[in-house]
Amino acid sequence: MAQPVPRDLGWRLAPAWSRPARFWMGWPDFRDDQMAREDCLGLAELLADYAPVSLICSSRDAAGLALRTSSNVAALASSHGGWLMRAEAPLWLVDGDGRLVAGVAFSAVGRELVERAGVPVLEPPVGLPPGIEGDGEGTVLASVPPERRTLAETVLRDWLGVERVLWLEGGDAAGSTRFLAPALVLLPPHPDLHRLLEAARDARGRRLQLVEMPASKREGRCYADCLVAGDTVVVPDYEDGRCGEALARVSAATWGRRISAFPAAWLAPAGAGLGGVVATQPS
């Protein structure tokens, strides 16, 4: 049986600020870094105030984790690894009322997340880029090599109903660029990326408001890759003296959000921030 075409059903890519039903995190699987594991537990407990948290871990770690976490944080033994959750997470789809209806899985971890969410698993059509970010109003941020963009744009339009694709360049900088709200984008200090987005318009014809986040003094770390979930924004703190500036820029650009910071120097891998280590399942 042919799988449904989301566009034909009125389904769309869930924006990051959809109300979270669950947070998914991967337990750091390198045994020699206890600091990353402690920070992982701390972030899980912070997020548990907003929605249940599932920590994906090996069977050897599950029992010990269950003894160390609160009732709203669950250790989930799985045969699938995956610490950098953004690389594994599915694309969540919602209907016209914003309710979760399906997930597009690009990996075994993504398939498991969608199955546990209790909604249909969709296979990605050829050419659909993973890791895209949508604003919920027809615009997506995506990064693929130029020679693949024609096919990707066709699939995004015909399969997902995307109206405007903003193609990003800049490697890790592109992967750390996030929508904070429709027409409001967080980005790292990257001149080419800034010029590209400054000239862009979204699907509704609006110019983008760009919030350029400070550079971290730690090589490869990025303040722009915040965790955005519902009305919550968690800014990574790399303990380099620049977190206060990052918090101030996010606070000045938005309203009605619960904004906080969390240590990320040990937890976030190079080229990513907190947005890279948490997958948010919408309600």
Q: What pLDDT digit, counting tens, does each position of 213-265 carry?
A: 999 988 878 899 999 999 999 999 999 999 999 999 999 999 889 999 999 99
Q: What is the pLDDT of residue 173?
A: 62
- Kindly report the length of the chain: 283
Domains and CATH numbers, the chain: 6-282 (3.75.10.10)
Q: Measure the CA–CA gap between 174 and 282, rounded to whole angstroms.
A: 24
Q: Calculate the CA dihedral of residues 82, 87, 90, 91 and round it to 10 degrees.
A: 160
- Is residue 66 helix, strand or coil? helix
Would you say 26 and 143 are in contact if contact means Cβ atoms under 8 Å apart?
no
The β-bridge partners of 229 are: 232
Q: What is the pLDDT of residue 81?
A: 61
Q: Measure the CA–CA gap between 22 and 39, rounded to whole angstroms.
A: 19
Q: Which residues of the chain have pLDDT under 50?
A: none
Q: Measure the CA–CA gap between 235 and 216, rounded to whole angstroms.
A: 12
Q: What is the pLDDT of residue 273?
A: 87
- For 251-270, write each residue's pLDDT tens digit: 999 988 999 999 999 888 77
Residue 8: how many other CB atoms lie within 10 Å:
10
Q: What is the pLDDT of residue 82?
A: 58
Q: Measure the CA–CA gap between 247 and 238, rounded to whole angstroms.
A: 12
Distances, alpha carbon 137 to alpha carbons 128, 140, 203, in Å: 19, 9, 7
Q: Which amino acid is at 48?
A: A
What's the pTM?
0.93
Distances, alpha carbon 87 to alpha carbons 54, 113, 121, 182, 253, in Å: 17, 13, 17, 23, 28
Nearest alpha-carbon partner for 90 in 108, 109, 101, 104:
104
